[in-house]
Amino acid sequence: MLKITKNIFFGRNNPFGIIHEPQASNILKYISSNQDAINISPNILLPGFVGITVEILDHTSALKFGLPMVFDVSDGHAKDISASRKLGQLLLNEAEVTLSNESETFNSCGQMLRNVSYNSSDKARRDSQETHFKSGMTHGSTVQYATYNSAWWNDPAHLRGNNCYAYACNVRTDGNTQSSWPHPGFCQKSKIPESNEELLEGVRNDRIIRLEEGMNPVNGSNESPAWIVGLAAGIPNNEETWDYHWYRKVWHGNNSDSYYWGHKPGASMATYTDDVEEDAKKRGYDWLGYFAIQNVTICASM
């Protein structure tokens, strides 16, 4: 069997479908003879492309056809881009990819998933192991900036298992598929938000604090850092379904005074931007504001 995932979202889980035998083997046979159409090295999704992840759900088939267990097509990084686009469309048609607002119930091995929780105070899950963070003031609050470290998120063992919310909270999950993506409010409802209202309700339930004038100040420290993050939501470019996206302000490092807005677009690689609101707008999202994340608990499935 093959699991086909259409990578259109940065926050919520992407739509996917299954291709069963014997069609799965027929497709793998074709791909094995046309490997210029696939990309085996995860990379940043290029503008104008909709990446499609292919998971071979049994080792025997992967060995038989000489293919990796997971690879991408139609993401702009294959040697033969035209063939990759055509293969992507074929896979989407065969898999009947559909979107669910619920978390996946079973993993690719057929094992039942369970909810797990993570806390942003867990130092071992952060992308920066510093004992002293850069600090700043905003809206009367003291916030911290970890040193930018994309390699922590782009490690192949964790790349596909963390989304923009995991990045914003600076909590790397243990999973390696989108079933382990955390979502605002998932601890309370075990449901993925599908509107601005549900998203902001989840933000409040996770005790994430909106930064605004007249608020009670947040007092972040080295022992209990408060990350400053930005949130956007809406319908991504060229799509028809709502999504959300988080950013986190990070420090350049090396004793500089430079800062970026780091973010991780879904299963794609972590990267950064200088103009966070413009970046969100360019991707088709509406800006929802700035927040502080301090000692929060988030939940996902494993």
Question: Residue 113 — pLDDT band, cuts 50, 70, 90?
Answer: low
Measured from the Cβ of residue 223, the count of other Cβ atoms closer than 10 Å reads 8
Question: Residue 101 — pLDDT band, cuts 50, 70, 90?
Answer: low
Burial (CB < 10 A; 0-12, 13-18, 19+), residue 288, is buried
Query: How far is the C-alpha of 302 from the C-alpha of 299, rounded, in Å?
Result: 10
Q: What average pLDDT does range 258-274 have in this prediction?
A: 95
Q: Smallest Cα–Cα separation from 243: which of 6, 7, 10?
A: 10
Query: How far is the C-alpha of 244 from the C-alpha of 265, rounded, in Å?
Result: 10
CA atoms within 13 A on the CB side of 211: 21
Q: Smallest Cα–Cα separation from 4: which of 22, 21, 20, 16?
A: 16
Burial (CB < 10 A; 0-12, 13-18, 19+), residue 87, is buried
Backbone angles phi, psi at 134, to 5 degrees: -65, 140
Q: For residue 77, what are its two tokens?
A: 């990084």
Query: DSSP character for 223?
Result: S
Q: What average pLDDT does range 256-277 have in this prediction?
A: 94
Burial (CB < 10 A; 0-12, 13-18, 19+), residue 172, is buried
Query: How far is the C-alpha of 302 from the C-alpha of 279, rounded, in Å?
Result: 31
Q: What is the mean pLDDT of the chain?
A: 92
Q: For 44-100, how does the pLDDT look when each residue is reduced to its tens digit (9 = 90+)?
A: 777 777 899 999 999 999 999 999 999 999 999 999 999 999 999 999 999 988 875
Q: For residue 132, what are its two tokens?
A: 């002293």
Q: Residue 288: is its pLDDT beyond 70? A: yes
Portion of the chain with pLDDT greater than 90, in percent: 81
Q: Residue 227: is its pLDDT beyond 60? A: yes
pTM (2 d.p.):
0.91
Query: How far is the C-alpha of 159 from the C-alpha of 35, rounded, in Å?
Result: 22
Burial (CB < 10 A; 0-12, 13-18, 19+), residue 189, is middle
